[in-house]
Chain A
């Protein structure tokens, strides 16, 4: 019995170490937190934002400060704690170059963050995280 326990235990520890090694490699393939490669300025209406549908305007500029126009934009809103479904914004570019408008549904009061990913026409992309602390509960 003791021998069987030791064998099973050693096997499980070995498998566990393999898992640690495999999952531990994650950072090499994907950054743990997106780093800004351009710049994204976000404004909300109302300001400060409250729960429910909220209008947002995102102004994107590339690394040179020029407007980041004609981009395909994904905006994912998450609460800072686990267990909540993300909220995706629907965005469109406005008449002004590099300025995108849309709405996002803040489903709960508290701290949120937006993950903004924009792909430009010439292969450039912007990936950044914008904190939205203290969305007020209605």
Chain B
């Protein structure tokens, strides 16, 4: 595979650092750098520091697996069901909102893979035809579908199967294929985190691009070679396995916060910097390791699945979904759930987005007089879907997490008491719950409003960058007019989400009253 860094025309010795970058656009970051924080920064810069997060998470994962298979098969009393569907999901979105992609950094699925790679080096390259987001989109939708069909939220055993399957697939894929094939092309949680991290306030980035302009070794992507070797092998510290070349990396898409680039850079020129959340969604053009995302149909489909999947996942927890299922069942005579659920998924993830996006792009075309085709416009504006989608995920998952955060205490107390026969953590305090729903409702509305504002702002910025016909004088005004249909579209999604959040929750695992 050809990567951007291989195409760079010139290389300089590290000591020949010019006053400005080779591109003529020297960029020095002076914002807050997490790696410059005393103590914490020093720990994070040390190779292997990721293990400090991964090992505790692996430990918790093993406890969850054990409890899933051998613990009580009652979801409210089972650590696997509780931690997976309430705490993990809630903390993921909140950490993405407030920090960055630290859950990928702490991913426990990578530890068995690291061990396997010490025993056996993968030889194959990930197939060219699958070097896109389609496999991950399929799995992402598949997990959402399985979640509803098998009522995973109420089933500890199947939740355990899902966790073990994750470990097994990550191990299998990365044992067979080189680099981070699982993270980049397969992992649905990873894709969720990548899109969510585009709205994070922290980004792994280069401190001073001029230092990179003078770099010949490109360790951040090639890895650090053994200095005593003539061939450059073995690599003693790997570079970015997701093909993100730091000087040309833009934003958090496809970045797992693994810190390999930080460990590899001989100039200590990479940090974790504060930045404007969502700004990366407004940048167009080639991105290292990603290509031109506004031309990638798979990326647009991922953004659509992410956003409409958020609405569908929330819709599935309120009463109207059962009325819809029943009406489809009575109209078709079907008595099994999967074809009805498939129809609902097709309606919400394919037909509804196609109609809404098509009408919106058509309206924009007419209002602003764009020559750009509808499909091209939808692809270009697809990044603007992400803020409202993330807002809905935040509102939904934060609801479960904030209203049930403390339920982990009695469940853990109960697990210890039942496992060891002694109440080392005390007797279960079943009265512990979380914040009242009325308080959380206000927070949910705040997240949704942030998503709405973010989506409209990204759409407006992207449309301002359009090539308007030369005869148009008032470009700003036309850009605003072009944004209007997109604003209406996002307002529609916002109102839908508010309506869903206003419905009383109705979590049923039964279909047609069966």
Please state if B81 and A81 are interface contacts (CB–CB under 8 Å).
yes
Establish whether residues A110 and B70, one from each chain, have CB atoms under 8 Å apart when the complex forms: no
Least CB separation from B418: chain A residue: A30
CB distance from A9 to the nearest CB of B (A): 6
Among B195-203, B306-314, B348-356, B503-511, the one that faces the other chain is B503-511
Across the interface, do A137 and B504 meet the contact criterion of CB distance under 8 Å?
A: yes
Q: How large, as a class, is the contact surface on chain B? A: 35 or more
Given contacts A24-B70, A32-B71, A133-B510, contact A83 B86 (CB under 8 A): yes
| Total interface residues in chain A, CB < 8 Å | 47
Verify A83–B154 contact, CB threshold 8 A.
no
Q: Which residue of B lies closest to A12 (CB)?
A: B55
Q: How far is the CB of B11 from chain A (nearest CB, A)?
A: 28
Tell me if B115 counts as interface (CB < 8 A to partner A): yes
Number of A-B contacts (CB under 8 A): 159
Q: Which of B114, B319, B430, B506 contacts A86 (CB 8 A)?
A: B430
Is B276 part of the contact surface with A, judged by Cβ < 8 Å?
no
From A4, A19, A136, give the contact of B59 (CB < 8 A). Answer: A19
Query: What are 18 A-B contacts with C-beta separation under 8 Å?
Result: A1-B236, A6-B118, A12-B59, A15-B59, A24-B70, A25-B419, A33-B73, A51-B504, A78-B76, A79-B76, A81-B81, A82-B153, A84-B407, A85-B430, A108-B504, A110-B506, A134-B508, A137-B503
Chain B residues packing against A (C-beta within 8 Å): 47-48, 51, 55, 58-59, 62-63, 65-67, 69-78, 81-82, 85-86, 111, 114-115, 118, 151, 153-154, 236, 319, 400-401, 403-404, 407, 411, 415, 418-421, 430-434, 503-510, 513
Instruction: Using A4-B48, A81-B76 as known contacts, list a sample of 19 further A-B pairs with CB atoms less than 8 Å apart, ordered by residue number in A.
Output: A8-B55, A9-B114, A9-B115, A19-B59, A22-B66, A23-B63, A23-B67, A29-B419, A78-B76, A79-B507, A80-B151, A81-B85, A81-B154, A83-B85, A83-B404, A85-B432, A86-B430, A136-B506, A137-B504
Q: Measuring CB to CB, which residues of chain A are less than 8 angstroms from any residue of chain B?
A: 1-2, 4-6, 8-9, 12-13, 15-17, 19-20, 22-27, 29-30, 32-33, 51, 76, 78-86, 88, 108-111, 113, 129, 133-134, 136-138
